[in-house]
Chain A
Amino acid sequence: MKIIDTFRYARDAATGTPLRTSLLIMAMSIGVAAVVVLTALGDGARRYVVGEFSAIGSNLVIVLPGRSETRGFNPANLITSTPRDLTLDDATALLRLPGVERIAPILIATTEINASGKLREAMLLGTSADYIRVRKQKLALGRFLTKDDLGHGAAEVVLGATIRREVFGSENPLGKTVRVGDRRLRVIGVLAEGGQGMGMTSDELLIVPVATAQAMLNSNTLFRILVESRSREQIGEVKARVLKMITQRHEGEEDVTVITQDAVLKTFDKILNVLTLGVAGIAGISLAVAGILVMNVMLVSVTQRTAEIGLLKALGATSAAVRQLFMVEAVLLSLTGAVVGIALGYLGAAILRDFYPTFPAYPPLWAVLAGLGTALVSGLVFGVMPARRAAQLDPIQALSKR
């Protein structure tokens, strides 16, 4: 018997009983669709988190004041319990380190903006000209802070998109003067909408030169320093150099914490990957159930088609040919179910993305292939027993049945 004829015969046998076949395909497709949708959710969560972290900027080393103590109690802590502050001088010193591309000192406080008779709360962010490139943000209007000495505090402000809209409406804010806290600042630019990272939006920010911010807040400390290394490979070295430099400048006291975005990212990536795998495994159970259903249906089919099997043997079919017919039918049913399931899964994921546009619920390729593979294997494995039973039927008894 030719392979193409085997396939055609098996296909006709399957389509000959439309209800049974469609129910079976439905069961299999639900299993596969569950795998596809659930892994899309899991992987989407992973991508979402990774994306949020990446939005801070790539190749970043972040310096925070204060030590996160992991070495237990140290008597030295009793004497020097207060960590030294991070200062602008620290930031300038870091810029000179090899492997460092840019730095952006950061100072954050809440403040008020007062313009055209409106008063509004806002976040004040003091930083340098490089901030916009370190954080990979875009301008909608005007220009960003001027690139000059960090200590130079110009009376300029860059507005977040929401602030601009709520304070100025459709008016062009460039060149206008606003009152921030007790200072009068000139608006020189507006950030593009939708800048994000770590769940904090840039739309509500007022960005001023770091020296201006320090003067406004009457403080000389920094909230943190963002350091961008020249390349991804250099992150480790830069981190070590930054820590050494700050320690040196703080009289040998290691009183800052240096974290890399990479390390945080990797941890999240790992956790969420495991989560996705776990979810896929749970969905896989439904595939196994569908496989057992395939076996059950095929066994019933063998019983129903006893006379046909006997006839095939009388007409010269070998046991192998009969076995093949039933195996191919089982595999065809499983595969069709899998293909329908993948289509349903993609549809489900698309619907999810439609409802939550920010959530990248794309099913990963490995999950789709695994779903297809599991369906195929379950068709093969659970098809063996019915096919063998069919092949072993005694043709005389089979034919005597009406």
Chain B
Amino acid sequence: MPESESLIALNQIDRTFYLGDSQVHALRKVNLTIAPGEYIAVMGPSGSGKSTLLNLIGLLDRPDAGGYQLEGRDVTTLAPDEQAKVRSERIGFIFQSFHLVPRLTAAANIELPLILAGMSVAERTKRVTQALQEYGLTDRAQHRPNELSGGQRQRVAIARATVQRPAVLLADEPTGNLDRVTGEEVVRLLEALNAQGMTLIVVTHDHALGARARRQIKMEDGVIVSDITRAPEPTGIGVC
């Protein structure tokens, strides 16, 4: 559902990895336009290039060829430090294994992106307190990750990813390490964020999870093989 102004515009993106002497085409001439506020599931078998796509959108990786515009700005030519700034302000990451820093408390983990952005202590404390409240973690603030349940850990990770109010939330198998019930909780949380207008891109193997997204992108061998957008209804049967 491309609107007049796109959030993300990928144009003829190529990405090739070299493993020994063999070449792996992770992405082949991928074109993709994403509007602000979309809810997208990227699916496909292992090695289909979906993670590479996510890393590229998240500016952790650079394409070998092609153009990438984020909020109308060409970000492929940016210097590494400027890309870091874009990551800090516009992009939130959520990982399958949470990637919380084990020695830091829940509050300190959430505070991390704000520290890296060089924010003042007063502003940081305010934002962290607010985030802890929003995600129902206030009584867990001073606990370390190993003292938290899987669901709580992922909530801390989501709070950390969204504390800077990014434009895009990138989630790589966000429920992969969680049981079904907690996974469901986390997905509802992400969908609530999406409902508030945050663009959500989820990479997953899980068909049930993928089916909940309004727009479903299927990848195979580095190529988008299907890109289906269904009518915006709260619940429905996904088309894979």
Chain A interface residues toward B at CB < 8 A? 1-2, 5, 9, 12-13, 16, 307-308, 310-321, 395-396, 399, 402
Contacts and interface: CB of A to CB of B under 8 A. Distances in A.
A273 to B, nearest CB: 48
B115 A1 contact: yes
B99 A12 contact: no
Interface string B77-111: 00011001101110001010101011110000000
> What 3 pairs between A and B have smallest CB-CB spacing?
A316-B88, A16-B103, A318-B84
Contact of A318 (B60, B80, B89, B160): B80
B99 A321 contact: no
B61 interface: yes
A315 B103 contact: no
A396 B93 contact: no
A316 B60 CA distance: 10
Name, among B61, B103, B160, the residue most crowded by chain A CB atoms within 10 Å (CB to CB): B103
B50 to A, nearest CB: 13
28 contacts: A1-B115, A1-B117, A1-B118, A5-B115, A5-B118, A13-B103, A16-B103, A308-B101, A310-B99, A311-B99, A312-B112, A313-B87, A314-B58, A314-B60, A314-B99, A315-B93, A315-B113, A315-B160, A316-B113, A316-B117, A316-B164, A317-B88, A317-B116, A318-B84, A319-B80, A321-B116, A396-B61, A399-B95
Nearest to B100: A311
B116 A315 contact: yes
Contacts of A13: 103
A318 B55 CA distance: 16
Name, among A13, A315, A320, A321, the residue most crowded by chain B CB atoms within 10 Å (CB to CB): A315
Contacts of B84: 313, 316-319, 321
Given A310-B99, A395-B60, 18 more contacts: A1-B115, A2-B115, A12-B103, A12-B104, A307-B99, A311-B99, A311-B101, A314-B60, A314-B99, A315-B88, A316-B84, A316-B85, A316-B113, A317-B88, A318-B80, A318-B84, A320-B81, A399-B99
B123 to A, nearest CB: 12
A396 B52 CA distance: 9
Contact of A313 (B60, B101, B102, B117): B60
A316 B164 CA distance: 11
A2 B118 contact: yes
Contacts of A316: 84-85, 87-89, 113, 116-117, 164
Interface of B: 55, 58, 60-61, 80-81, 84-85, 87-89, 93, 95, 97, 99, 101-104, 112-113, 115-118, 160, 164
A396 B55 contact: yes
B196 to A, nearest CB: 21
Main secondary structure on A side of the interface with B: helix
A189 to B, nearest CB: 75
Given A13-B103, A396-B60, A314 B97 contact: no
A319 B84 CA distance: 9
Nearest to A5: B115
Contacts of A311: 99, 101
A402 B97 CA distance: 7
A149 B87 CA distance: 99
B111 to A, nearest CB: 9
A319 B58 contact: no
A97 to B, nearest CB: 77
A223 B62 CA distance: 94
Nearest to A3: B118
B103 to A, nearest CB: 4
Nearest to B164: A316
Contacts of B55: 396
Contacts of B103: 12-13, 16
Name, among A1, A12, A314, A318, the residue most crowded by chain B CB atoms within 10 Å (CB to CB): A314
Contacts of B87: 313-316
Nearest to A395: B60
Nearest to A305: B101
Contacts of B115: 1-2, 5, 9
Nearest to B95: A399
A400 B89 CA distance: 23
A91 to B, nearest CB: 81
A307 B104 CA distance: 14
Contacts of B117: 1, 316
Contacts of B58: 314
A15 to B, nearest CB: 8
Contacts of B97: 402
B115 to A, nearest CB: 5
A311 B92 CA distance: 11
Contacts of B99: 307, 310-311, 314, 399
A224 B168 CA distance: 97
Contacts of A9: 115
A321 B87 CA distance: 14
Contacts of B160: 315
B113 A318 contact: no
Name, among B85, B95, B160, the residue most crowded by chain A CB atoms within 10 Å (CB to CB): B95
Contacts of B89: 316
